[in-house]
Amino acid sequence: MEIKDIKKTAEREISLVKTLKELESFENKYLGKKGILTRILRSLKELNPEERKKIGKEANELKEFLQKEIERKRGQLQEKHIEEKEKKEWIDITMPGKKIERGHLHPITLVRTQIEDIFQKMGFSVVEGPEIENEWYNFDALNIPKEHPARDMWDTFWLRQNELKMQNSKLKMSQRLLLRTHTSPVQIHYMEANKPPIRIIAPGRIFRYEATDASHEINFYQVEGLMIDKNISIANFKFIMEEFFKEFFGRKTEIRLRPSYFPFTEPSFEIDVKCSICNGKGCSVCSYRGWIEMAGAGMVHPNVLKAVKINPEEWQGFAFGLGLDRLTMMKYKINDIRLFYSGDLRFLKQF
Ligand code: DAH
């Protein structure tokens, strides 16, 4: 075949090329290692000098021509490819954006920070303790005797890993691990690490092994309080508690102290707040008592101070444990504690 015929065929073929892949096989066919032109150029040496000159020239011209044509075609096809891609990935920049909804704090967190603010204004520091405790911190150091029902298998979440170790058993009973049943062990941690005077609150999560209903959950929140100094009396205690509840529920709020029992305080009290719904007359919210129990409290028992090597002759103080969930429920008039942990947005969006 003459070179000019090859050129004609090639021109026709390249005009029909529609994709980059087709272009590649076209290029191979003519200019590849075993391509038509490559073969011609290679076989030139077999020709006589005159023919070699003529065909060599023509073949080289065609090679250059095809190279240019291939580059031109490649440019076109690439442009087309990009255009098509853009068409497929087209976005409407005038379309309104997707609204990202902003979250907000959980009601328990809102109330916790509010409580922290009130106590910080009265000179209390906010501290934290671990959620996994051993029996010493959760019970012994708090003067809770061995036979106390809270230590029962059925009232507390014990950690199994440790039970196993106990069977092998070099561990003492008091080193058994559990999920703390109250925030009171933070008192012990803090007093071990710090000398009086002490003024702290310790908000945190606690765990109880119990059936859930509208007022019981297996985990909830408490705010522990502890004040240790010289000459601290029940009068100081009552003032601080009254001040807290007035700041929290409003200045008109009234509280009362009712005698109670806790192993780690002596004397011990329950703190009641006058029911704001019926103003003390009695209604369904306060179970017709007129008052609602809000906290356990009392003067720190000398045995607790001795357990952390603080001299009870020199230092005294009071402690209290507020139910954070209960306070939040009262504040926002929520009638089921389980709502806090349900993750139900219809509930949460109201705060
Ligand atoms: N730890 C107690 C409970 O969970 C609450 C409590 C009562 C805490 C009296 C105190 C206190 O600090 O003095 O029931």
pLDDT band at 169 (very low <50, low <70, confident <90, very high): low
Cβ–ligand 1 contact at 319 (below 6 Å):
yes
Cβ–ligand 1 contact at 318 (below 6 Å):
no
Given a cut of 80, whether residue 151 has pLDDT beyond it is no
Given a cut of 60, whether residue 171 has pLDDT beyond it is no
For ligand 1, what atom is nearest to the CA of residue 184? 1
Mutation test residue for ligand 1: of 184, 190, 269, the one with most atoms within 8 Å of CB:
184
What backbone phi and psi angles, to 5 degrees, belong to 152? -65, 145
Same domain, 273 and 240: yes
Average pLDDT over residues 180-192: 97
Span 2-59, pLDDT tens digits: 888 999 999 999 999 999 999 999 999 999 999 999 999 898 889 898 988 999 999 9
Cβ–ligand 1 contact at 270 (below 6 Å):
no
Cβ–ligand 1 contact at 156 (below 6 Å):
no
The three-class DSSP label of residue 174 is helix
Same domain, 79 and 188: no
Tally of domains within the chain? 2
Average pLDDT over residues 177-195: 96
Is 164 inside any structural domain?
no
What is the pLDDT, as a whole number, of residue 107?
96
What letter represents residue 116's amino acid?
E
DSSP string covering 238-291, please?
HHHHHHHHHHHH-TT--EEEEEEEETTEEEEEEEEEE-TTTTTS--TTTTTSSE
What is the pLDDT, as a whole number, of residue 174?
53
How far are the Cα atoms of 140, 143, 182 from residue 306, in angstroms, in the given order?
12, 10, 20
CA of 156 from ligand 1 middle (Å) equals 16
Helices 20-31, 49-88: crossing angle, 10 deg rounding = 170
Same domain, 59 and 122: no
Is 101 inside any structural domain?
no
pLDDT band at 163 (very low <50, low <70, confident <90, very high): low
Given a cut of 80, whether residue 338 has pLDDT beyond it is yes
**Domain stop point among 88, 117, 147:** 88
pLDDT band at 284 (very low <50, low <70, confident <90, very high): confident
Average pLDDT over residues 165-181: 68
Same domain, 202 and 284: yes
Mutation test residue for ligand 1: of 320, 322, 327, the one with most atoms within 8 Å of CB:
320
Cβ–ligand 1 contact at 265 (below 6 Å):
yes
Average pLDDT over residues 326-343: 91
Same domain, 310 and 210: yes
DSSP string covering 183-251, please?
STHHHHHHHHH-PSSEEEEEEEEEE-----BTTB-SEEEEEEEEEEETT--HHHHHHHHHHHHHHHH-T
CATH of the domain at 126: 3.30.930.10
**Domain stop point among 33, 54, 88:** 88
Same domain, 342 and 298: yes
pTM of this structure: 0.71
Mutation test residue for ligand 1: of 189, 228, 262, 269, the one with most atoms within 8 Å of CB:
262
In which element (H, E) is residue 82 found? helix 49-88
Percent of the chain whose predicted confidence (pLDDT) is above 90: 69
Same domain, 219 and 83: no
pLDDT band at 180 (very low <50, low <70, confident <90, very high): very high
Cβ–ligand 1 contact at 299 (below 6 Å):
no
Is 145 inside any structural domain?
no
CA of 184 from ligand 1 middle (Å) equals 6
> Which residue's CA lies nearest to atom 12 of ligand 1?
320
What is the pLDDT, as a whole number, of residue 25?
94
CA of 297 from ligand 1 middle (Å) equals 6
Cβ–ligand 1 contact at 320 (below 6 Å):
yes
Same domain, 198 and 265: yes
The three-class DSSP label of residue 114 is helix
Is 80 inside any structural domain?
yes
What is the pLDDT, as a whole number, of residue 341?
94
CB-neighbour burial class of residue 125 (10 A; exposed 0-12, middle 13-18, buried 19+) = middle
CA of 60 from ligand 1 middle (Å) equals 99
Same domain, 192 and 279: yes
CA of 107 from ligand 1 middle (Å) equals 23
Of 136, 111, 84, nearest to 220 (Cα)?
Answer: 111
Same domain, 191 and 283: yes
pLDDT band at 87 (very low <50, low <70, confident <90, very high): confident
What is the pLDDT, as a whole number, of residue 168?
53
- For residue 61, the enclosing domain spans 3-88
Is 206 inside any structural domain?
yes
Same domain, 74 and 120: no
Same domain, 59 and 120: no
The two structure tokens encoding residue 239: 């003032």
CA of 339 from ligand 1 middle (Å) equals 24
Is 99 inside any structural domain?
no
For ligand 1, what atom is nearest to the CA of residue 187? 12
Is 261 inside any structural domain?
yes
What letter represents residue 163's amino acid?
E
Cβ–ligand 1 contact at 322 (below 6 Å):
no
| C-alpha span between 78 and 69 (Å, rounded) | 14
Percent of the chain whose predicted confidence (pLDDT) is above 70: 95
Is 7 inside any structural domain?
yes
